[in-house]
Amino acid sequence: MTQKTDAQQTQSDLNRIGRKVVVIGAGPGGYVAALRAAALGGEVTVIEKEHPGGTCLNWGCIPSKIMKTSADTYMKIKEANEFGIKFDGTVIPDMALIMARKQRIVETQRKGILSLLQHAKVSFEQGRGYIKGEGIVAVINSDKDGNEHEKEIQFDALIIATGTAPLNIPAFPFNGDSILSSNDLLNLNEIPKSIVIVGGGVIGCEFACILSALGSSVTVVEAMSRLLPLPSVDESCSVILQREMKKRKIKLITDQVVEKAEKKDGKLIVTLGISPFVDKVKIEKMVKSGSKPHVIETDKMAVCIGRSPLSADLGLENIGLKANEKGWIEVNDKMETTISGVYAIGDILGPNHIMLAHVASHEGMVAAANAMSDKSMEGSDAVKMNYNAVPGAIFTMPEIGNVGLTEREAAAQGLDFTSSTVSFRTLGKAHSMGEIAGEAKIVADRATGKVIGVHITGPHATDLIAEGTLAVNLGLTVSDIARTIHAHPTLSEIMSEAALKGTDMAVHG
């Protein structure tokens, strides 16, 4: 890397000022990219066809956590006697009130984002943005009479952050009534008596826990052999979650898929078949045992099995940029597409990248830094995205937090590793909370002791994973964690106990 002289650095900084950056999409990737580009001296415009905050704020992370908080509160009230609290009144969850609270919080967050953009002198354009030609983006919006108006905006650099929408399955398309998308679940006006959730991934499992806690009879159908069949989720996390969901009377059906769903006498009749992912040996066993297709009668069915890219009407062809065959946009580690000066971030990159809000925000910062760089200057440095230490946060009951390699991934890479596991029931704080289900696992390189993965299932796992993320990111060892004093009585002691066990100095674990 060539060191810049003071004169070169000054000229580079001057060249940044007034550089026009356009961001299409104001989700957690887009608005963060806009703020970073503005902070670097850019003249920034954000285009958003709906509301600021993107899927995360409006149709995902925040609304679902609001619903989960209500579900958690309802469960705690129902269990009040266990905590020495007598409650003689009637407690009933009210979906209308839950949705009203959700809307208030979402509106507050939207205003907060707009305030940040305004303070940073970022222009916010409401409407559908598309690429009209080289260096030009157009914004289309409609007036109160339905007449469309188009406004052109020039750019030196473009950041695409349009995200995704729920994947609609042709065999049983969303109708907003009996067959629901994950978006529809966030707009329920009543708690369904019964619901089948298709897909045992993150979204499906989170909603299964929420709706079950609020009183629904829930069945989860998953095509794979376990819930949360993601490479980043350790199999032990799935085992614990499945056990705890069964305790909550959630029915779990794996290795099967929905073949059809038909409305009959006010009910939805859901017919299942053997999953295409099931191996021949297992199929033969199922046939020999006389296993018959499941037929489930339910009030509603929610389809939570994927997302589709919002890239079709972006005008990519007008600058020679092609999405792949599935509609995802491909980028390099600078978040730059095949077209110089055009970047893409967030869920529009597809499942080959990590589709999480906090990842999109970091991608946005990387894209903004590179969009604002003066590439004509000798020695200009590119900022690169690093995915080595990305935490996952799954808000099931109990929660799951993960970072780094699972045992299966470590083995697949041929690594010589060790793992140490400690149960939450060893912690006084967990007992005082009445939440002892779960465990923490630290996966480490045997030779160096470096932490290469942390997997937590249990109370507040999504908060506790931060320490594991720091350890993986900085290459800390299990001994580094074991030598760190953790406050007592806290849930964070689970990391201390797991690390002490990993260094053969177990106290309670």
Give the residue from 430, 432, 182 showing the smallest Cα distance to 303: 182
163-186 pLDDT, tens digit per residue, is: 999 999 999 999 999 999 999 999
Residue with tokens 């967030």: 346
Q: How many CA atoms lie within 13 A of 329 on its CB side?
A: 29
Q: Which two tokens stand for residue 497?
A: 């106990």
Is 375 a residue whose pLDDT tops 80?
no
Domains, the chain: 6-75+87-165+308-371 (3.50.50.60), 179-305 (3.50.50.60), 392-502 (3.30.390.30)
pLDDT score, position 377: 38
Is pLDDT above 50 for 404? yes
pLDDT in tens, 18-40: 799 999 999 999 999 999 999 99
d(CA 204, CA 222): 9
State pTM to two decimals.
0.92
As a whole number of angstroms, the distance between CA 160 and CA 330 comes to 11
| Pair of tokens at residue 65 | 């956590």
Contact between residue 153 and residue 21 where contact means Cβ atoms under 8 Å apart: no
In 398-507, DSSP assigns E strands to 399-404, 417-423, 439-445, 451-458
355 in Cβ contact with 337 (< 8 Å):
no
Positions annotated as catalytic residues are 488
- The encoded tokens of residue 258 equal 């929905």
Give residue-wise pLDDT tens across range 325-372. 999 999 999 999 999 999 999 999 999 999 999 999 999 999 999 999
CA distance linking residue 383 with residue 402, whole number of Å: 26
DSSP 347: G
pLDDT of residue 142: 82
Nearest partner of 340 among 41, 135, 35, judged by Cα: 135
Edge-to-edge strands, sheet with 392-394? 392-394, 399-404, 451-458, 439-445, 417-423
